[in-house]
Structure 1
Amino acid sequence: MKPLPSLDVLKTFLVVAQKLNFTRAADVLNLTQGAVSRQISGLESHLGYGLFVRQARGLALTPNGAMLLAPLQQAFAQITEALEKSGAQSGTLRVKCPTCAMRWILPRVIRLQNERPELVVEVTAAVSHGVEFNAEQFDAAIVFGQPTVKGVTIHHLFDEVLTPVCAPGLWKGKKGRAATPDDLADKTLLHPTRDRRDWLRWLEAYGYRGLPSTKAQHFDTLDLAISSAMQGLGVTIGDLSLIEEDVRARRVITPFSLCVPSGAAYYLIYPERPAPSAALQQFAQWLETEAAQTRANLSGYLQAA
């Protein structure tokens, strides 16, 4: 007996059968047209018969393809229903989160689970800022930047606002005047990105050209840069939305009053289909409330600055 084709390949067949066009199916599946075509060709070779007739203006199902379609649609519907039921009973939500946002979400999730032990949220940190729900086993994700995934529900959480950040003991500004970028000349600049774009964006908004210091260290994530700044190793660019609790606790200080919106933001996203479970809807509503408080705190901070 032949081994069964993978569920991913069978799902590709179902989407192609619905769209009868490789390009439109590729858009739905977030794959390239070539990848979809190769999956269908591989499935036809595995089965030993054709599934589609290639025509000038699209595709048509062969008799064998049409015979296969209905049972597979029913099977996938049963799988979806089973997953929804098991997820609803367990109450476990799997959430993907970029490492930079862990500083914001993890204390809140721990507090949520202390208050709502029946709602289990498993947060997985990742260096990447995106998610592919078709290929990754997550119920939801926090993403940075404008979401590009199709077929998802999007909740805006908060915007990125940049300003220099360092440990309290590192900064010794001159009394009686506001800090300027010249005060950074003897400091090590900690860069959250290799291209130094965050520092350069903030300095440009200040009206300062170039970098005020030749001493620098580079990191792959904002979280690593902030952790190094907390240890007194230098001054980094921090996102005020993510470090509000660190600022309030005086683990870090923000020596400059200038805060620059980068134009990027953080979002909670999850698939539109299947319909979100009750647990996911409750989590999304709770997270929006937490984000609204962060936005309010940030607004008050900016006004005070």
Structure 2
Amino acid sequence: MKRLPPLPALHTFLVTAQCCNFTRAAQQLHITQGAVSRQIAGLEEHLGYALFVRQARGLSLTREGQDWLPRVQQVFALIEEGVQQVGAKNATLQIKAPTCVMRWLLPRLMEWQALRPDVPVELTTTMHYGVDFRHEAFDAAVVYGVPPNHGVQVLKLFDEQLTPVCSAQLLAGPLPLREVADLEHHLLLHPERNERDWQMWLAAAGGELPQTGKRQHFETLDMAMSMASQGNGVAIGDWALIGEDLRNGRLVMPFDLRVPTGKGYYLVRPPRADSPGLLELLGWLCDQVNTQP
């Protein structure tokens, strides 16, 4: 079997055939014109026939050169495709998410890494609720609010539903929590400074925020939930985000009312972010929503 031609010489042939000029090929390859000429001559000697017709004003392909060109183009296209696909299998996926969704997202990403260690994920948390893929180099993001309607691919996770929560010890304590009015006797824990969540839930429950009641503000939902789980007050939270705390008994719901806010959580990705690992991860996260109790 005849020995295959060297790959560097084939690459030099490809570049030279595209510009039909030794000088321009040398500039693109960052080698000398003499080196290009020698590689082409060596390739022609190896094959046993000429690939170019040398002319005063440049080069033209011979019939054999014209037959060779699409085949060499296909070879290098396959190599490039292989580099991209194999590299994508082990590339770390960059995901952005607001801190308020961490109680739901982080345990599931840890479970994903145990199931698929070959598709690593790096999570960046932020206090902001959106993402701008034009200026932020993330493969995907979780965003909060209303679904983006342009420039991204969107998968819905869940709607926001507000409900008060506290520890079982506080609920069984000396101050009852049987009616909405009983909240006046407890410290209200706010996950944000604007008190929007408590106001919205109380309005739906037929009450209002106490003007003189005790209250404590936090910067994140996680901090408010941690204080509530320790029996230090009643927090307002998103039912979907605190589901694990409710299932394991760290938190309980003193009232059955869950109030939808019209906002939600969405998985978004740029239109061309379609690597198999990323699509599998995003689909798996959506399945986690559909299967949670």
Output the TM-score relative to the length of structure 1.
Answer: 0.65
CA deviation vs aligned residue, 1:199-255 (integer Å, no higher than 9, x gap): 011111111133276101111222221122112221110111011111010001111
2:105 paired with 1:97: no
Q: Residue type matched to 1:169 in 2?
A: Q
Q: Residue type matched to 1:114 in 2?
A: A
Q: Give the conservation status (yes or no) of the 8 Å contact 2:98–2:142.
A: yes
Separation in 1 of the partners of 2:217 and 2:124? 24
Q: Which has the larger radius of gyration?
A: 2
Q: Give the conservation status (yes or no) of the 8 Å contact 2:199–2:209.
A: yes
Distance 1:90 1:212, change over 3 A: same
CA deviation vs aligned residue, 1:268-291 (integer Å, no higher than 9, x gap): 00000x241111110111011011
Q: Residue type matched to 1:144 in 2?
A: Y
Distance 1:287 1:270, change over 3 A: same
Q: Residue type matched to 2:103 in 1?
A: R
| Structure-1 residue corresponding to 2:8 | none
Structure 2 spans left out of the alignment, 5+ residues: 1-80
Separation in 2 of the partners of 1:83 and 1:217? 54
2:148 paired with 1:144: no
Give 3-state SS (helix, strand or coil) of 1:284's partner. Answer: helix
Structure 1 spans left out of the alignment, 5+ residues: 1-80, 298-305
| Structure-2 residue corresponding to 1:290 | 288
Pairs within 5 Å for 1:265-304: 265-272=264-271, 274-294=272-292, 297=293
| Structure-2 residue corresponding to 1:126 | 126
Separation in 2 of the partners of 1:87 and 1:181? 57
Give 3-state SS (helix, strand or coil) of 1:242's partner. Answer: coil
Root-mean-square deviation over aligned CA pairs: 2.4
Separation in 2 of the partners of 1:284 and 1:216? 38
Pairs within 5 Å for 1:1-305: 88-148=88-148, 150-172=150-172, 179-211=178-210, 214-272=213-271, 274-294=272-292, 297=293
Q: Give the conservation status (yes or no) of the 8 Å contact 1:98–1:143.
A: yes
Distance 1:187 1:153, change over 3 A: same
Distance 1:275 1:243, change over 3 A: closer
Q: Give the conservation status (yes or no) of the 8 Å contact 2:96–2:126.
A: yes
Separation in 1 of the partners of 2:204 and 2:165? 16
Q: Give the conservation status (yes or no) of the 8 Å contact 2:159–2:260.
A: yes
Separation in 2 of the partners of 1:173 and 1:100? 29
Distance 1:150 1:180, change over 3 A: same
Give 3-state SS (helix, strand or coil) of 2:244's partner. Answer: helix
Deviation at 1:102, TM superposition (A): 0.6
| Structure-1 residue corresponding to 2:28 | none
Q: Residue type matched to 2:116 in 1?
A: R
Separation in 1 of the partners of 2:289 and 2:164? 22
Distance 1:275 1:126, change over 3 A: closer
Q: Give the conservation status (yes or no) of the 8 Å contact 2:181–2:207.
A: no
Deviation at 1:293, TM superposition (A): 1.9
| Structure-1 residue corresponding to 2:29 | none
| Structure-1 residue corresponding to 2:59 | none
Give 3-state SS (helix, strand or coil) of 1:238's partner. Answer: strand
Deviation at 1:178, TM superposition (A): 7.6
